Amino acid sequence: MSQIIPASEEYFAVPSPAQYSDLLGAVLSKYPKIGAMIPTMVALVDGFPAKAATPLNDGDEVDFIPTLAGG
């Protein structure tokens, strides 16, 4: 199975003041295939759920976690 993002960790620079939506735009620009997956993922900024207007600070950790369904 091929990976959409080839690294488990990557750094992005976004203009300050930055919000989660700015980072998401940078991620989608570099990895457009992930766009279809974003609605099914949970995004966390330093362990807390992210919204579009969530502010980002230098050194914040953002995790994109795919949700799983099963039965």
pLDDT of residue 69: 63
Instruction: Name the residue ranges covered by the structural domains of the chain.
Output: 18-66
Q: What share of the chain is helix, strand, coil (3-state, %, to 5)?
A: 25, 25, 50
- Does the reported pTM lie above 0.85? no
Closest among 66, 65, 23 to 47, alpha carbons compared: 65
pLDDT of residue 71: 58
Q: What is the pLDDT along the chain (71 residues), one digit of tens a residue?
A: 456 666 678 899 999 999 999 999 999 999 998 899 899 999 999 999 999 999 999 999 999 988 876 65
